[in-house]
Chain A
Amino acid sequence: MTTQLPLCDVAVIGAGPAGLTAACELAESGRDVVVLDEQGAPGGQIYKGVEKVFADRPQDIRPLGREYAEGKTLTRRFRQSGARYQPGVSVWQITSDQEPDLALGLIENGSARMLHPKHVILATGAMERPTPFEGWTLPGVMTVGAAQTLLKSSRLLPEDDVVLAGTGPLLYLYVMQLKKFGIRPQAILDTGPPLSLRTSLLGLRALITCPQAMFQGMRWLWGAGVKTNMTRGVDSLKAQGGDHLSSVSYEARGRRHELSTSLLLVHDGVIPNTWLSMSAGIKHHFNETQNCWVPEIQGAGLTSRDCISIVGDAAGIGGAEVAMLQGERVAREVDAYLEDHQHPQTSIESGVLRRQRWMRSFIDEAFPSTAQFQSPENDIVVCRCEEVTAGEIRQVTERGCMGPNQGKAFTRCGMGPCMGRKCGLTVSRLMAQVRGVSVQEVGHYRIRSPIRPITVGQLADMESILKGDNQSVLSANSS
């Protein structure tokens, strides 16, 4: 392979449904597109491992479900699209708007390099909402998404003693998938509230507008509830054990229960993965309904920073269907933007997309995040890395710390390797509660690069053509 110049028209970060669709559209219309993803294969979270499953484990296609299998169509299209695919690459920085040019810092095979695209599309997807509760740092406690990832990519199935706890569609989907693999969890502890009239009405609208998705959802819920040990109205979840989880206890209908288990899977919905967009200085705001920070989007996917667009769950949770529909719109917008750097007239959202959004507002209402996780008690560790408790956060706030940045300086909360991914939401929420103001007003950690690990040596050895002297490289490319 000849050495490639570190240039391209569009760099897409994330090879999930959103990034792949956008990349296909742009590459098929002749743009030079590079797709970067830190996973080893395309598909993102929902279609993780889909190529491998089709190639090596065809018997698993059915139990993983029809929605999963659809991912194969997308990855096949992508492989033929002409987009350059670079798996196993982590993006650790986007240069700030104070630097001479827009560039991405990449880590690949243990060394760092830079890529200089004309436009960047962030399709970094979602991550699971933090779930602080007693014992959540014990080995043996994982997220539902983590277990599902292990199932899709490596066919790891939990033992029968597994307990699931929390709320949200992903939890029910996973239970449904387990059922098809012949596994019946010991218990499913549903922490969500009972369905209200308002949610039922929203559900009705969603049913009329999106019957297919609704039926699918009902299948999951129904499938999960029937013949499984589901307990609703669960509160005060605790994980117990010495070096490893040994039991789970909880309250339901006013009584405390205990189950012995080696694996507890928790879930409380998903939130946009905004660490890269925040580190790039893009404006974000707090979305109260989805209970998460979302980037401010102009048009289909443009942001407050020139030449950076966001698409898919990273722009606000919408699910895979929306991610793909948005991927097409954002690709068209970027294609036009590349011509004249004017914000193009935004195409109106299609009916399908609008209907998907109604569906989403039903999901948002039906699965609000769990109160116990939103307001953890004082002795609960909220920052897993630095082991800072909710009580410490409340205390510094009461003593005049107005936001998470000062709080971080005083307590080290959010200073560890995860850079606040597992405590950011909780800390802002706790501070807002103490101060009696909105999460928006309290704000979020200031996120700075590197958002993925890079060593002193890797940064020192990196070749960089910043400082504006990449003109020569640009002309070398065009000749």
Chain B
Amino acid sequence: MFRLRTNLTDPVTFSFEGRRLTASRGDTLAAALLASGVFIFRNSPVSSAPRAPFCMIGNCYECFVQVEAMGVVQACLTEVTEGMQITKVSNQIDELGMDIKEVSKE
């Protein structure tokens, strides 16, 4: 998609899904990830189809990622900072292991 950048000015280190990556200070998370060759940001909660940033100005909400201690953010509106740990947003519903039962029959 995009060319990898050489000689980053003022680099910061962060991680995506456990992978260590670097970006320029001031980059948005979306730019930092795309520049590092990350193409799939999340999966659609409806069909699980892969999705990635589309508009880069905060309007399509395709760039949602999970940031440690921040929660889910729009990657195109959030600046990358040193040590940031980013993961994909989970859509996985864990089985609750509890059937709906009539409480009063217990």
A, B bound: yes
A residues apposed to B, CB below 8 Å: 38-40, 45, 52, 56-57, 88, 90, 110, 127-128, 137-143, 145-147, 149-150, 153-159, 243-244, 262-263, 273, 384-387, 416-418, 421-422, 452-453, 455
Q: Mark B28-50, 1 if CB is under 8 A from A, else 0.
A: 10111011000111001011011
Chain A residues whose CB sits within 8 angstroms of the CB of B62 once the complex forms: 384
**Cβ-neighbour of A418 out of B30, B53, B59 (below 8 A):** B59
Interface residues of B in 53-94 (CB under 8 A from A): 53-62, 64, 70-72, 74, 76-77, 79
CA distance A142 to B57 in the complex (A): 12
**Chain A interface, DSSP helix/strand/loop, else mixed:** loop
- In the complex, besides A139-B39, A156-B31, 9 extra interface pairs with C-beta distance below 8 angstroms are A57-B9, A110-B71, A127-B55, A156-B35, A243-B40, A384-B54, A386-B46, A421-B59, A421-B60
* Partner-A contacts on B (CB < 8 A): 1-3, 5, 9-10, 24, 26-28, 30-32, 34-35, 39-41, 44, 46-47, 49-62, 64, 70-72, 74, 76-77, 79
The docked-state distance in angstroms from the alpha carbon of A147 to that of B54 is 9
Residues of A within 8 A of B27 (CB): 153-154
**A-B residue pairs, 8 tightest by C-beta:** A139-B52, A146-B56, A154-B31, A417-B61, A149-B56, A263-B1, A418-B61, A421-B59
Pair count A-B, CB < 8 A: 121
Q: Are A416 and B50 interface neighbours, CB within 8 A?
A: no
Contacts known (A146-B57, A159-B3); A417 close to B31, Cβ less than 8 A: no
Contact A56 B74 (CB under 8 A): no
Contact (A158, B3) CB under 8 Å given A127-B55, A453-B74: yes
Pick the contact of A146: B26, B51, B53 (CB < 8 A).
B53
**Given known contacts A146-B53, A244-B40, A387-B46, A110 and B70 CB-to-CB distance under 8 angstroms:** yes
A154, B31: Cα distance in complex, Å: 7
